[in-house]
Amino acid sequence: MGNKDQLQLGDHLFNSRLLVGTGKYENHDIMKKSIEASSTEMVTMALRRVDLKNPRENVLNFIPKNMTLLPNTSGARNAEEAIRIAKIARAAGCGDFVKIEVISDQKYLLPDNYETLKATKTLAAEGFYVLPYMSPDLMAAKEMEKAGAKAVMPLGSPIGSNRGIENKGLIKILINEIKVPIIVDAGIGKPSHAAEAMELGAKAVLVNTAIAASKDPIEMARAFDYAVKAGRLAYLSKFGEVKAQGDASSPLTGFLRKEQ
């Protein structure tokens, strides 16, 4: 694979295809070590957790220096709020990337594709590198791409549910039809889920809860790093056929008869 297989988001290149979050960790120190163990190069955090007036508690101090920041608009309930958060983040020096999260439903925390699209249009036009988080829907994804999104982030299953890639059929269609990278976000609860997303052809995955809520987040971060690499390598190497019947690895030849 070597250094040629990189994730491209706009004009940025990344060696790691695992994006991680910063929520739900027991403390900032475990968070920092988990981020390092994951080999990630892009870390998302809710802007509200960036306490600009209290640098001691500022989550940014615990994110390794070489990371690309992906501030998210968690807390936004409509496009307008998302746009406002994105601008505060850029002004605060978090860079040009932004993950749009617009959630009006507080029970399942499902994204609002329509408001997300509106925010994507505005922010992309203002030079942001926009990564919209969305319900997997082909038409909405096409609109996001047309609006200038640098990637599209469909949910595998509801945030924090750890149920895996439930919407496989819809996500595979996005992978087939959308030209910007598909990054599976939300619902990935196990390394096997991350590997499966990559085997399907996702260009990256974002994992937070599954790492942070593990008994050993640092080792779990390492597990996800391996799983994403496994899935990506397998996707590039291509699979053999799935067969209805068995097919012997070591077929019967006349061995026993010959030896007699």
Kindly list the distances between the CA atom of residue 210 and the CA atoms of 9, 23, 94, in Å, as whole numbers in the listed order: 24, 11, 25
CA–CA dist 211, 124 (Å, integer): 31
Query: Which residue from 12, 24, 28, 87 is in contact with a second copy, where contact means CB under 8 A?
Result: 24
Is 99 catalytic? The answer is: yes
Residue window 140-179: x/- pattern of binding to a second copy, with contact defined by CB under 8 A: x--x-------------xxxxxxx--xxxxx--x---x--
DSSP state of 167: T
For CA atoms 62, 65, 67, 68, the dihedral sign is positive
| Nearest alpha-carbon partner for 129 in 14, 3, 5, 40 | 14
Q: Among residues 2 and 55, whose Cβ is nearest to a second copy?
A: 2
Determine the residue type at 144: M
Place of tokens 């999104």: 149
148 is in an annotated binding site: no
Q: Please identify, among the stretches 6-14, 73-81, 120-128, 144-152, the one whose residues bind a second copy according to the rule CB under 8 A.
A: 73-81
Catalytic residue among 99, 150, 203, 229: 99
Give Cβ neighbours of residue 237 (< 8 Å, ≥ 6 apart).
none
Q: Please identify, among the stretches 7-15, 62-70, 146-154, 229-237, the one whose residues bind a second copy according to the rule CB under 8 A.
A: 229-237
Segment 193 to 212, residues that bind a second copy, using CB under 8 A = 193, 195-196, 199, 208-210, 212
Query: Which residue from 104, 125, 127, 146 is in contact with a second copy, where contact means CB under 8 A?
Result: 104
Residues at the binding site for 1-deoxy-D-xylulose 5-phosphate are: 160, 186-187, 208-209
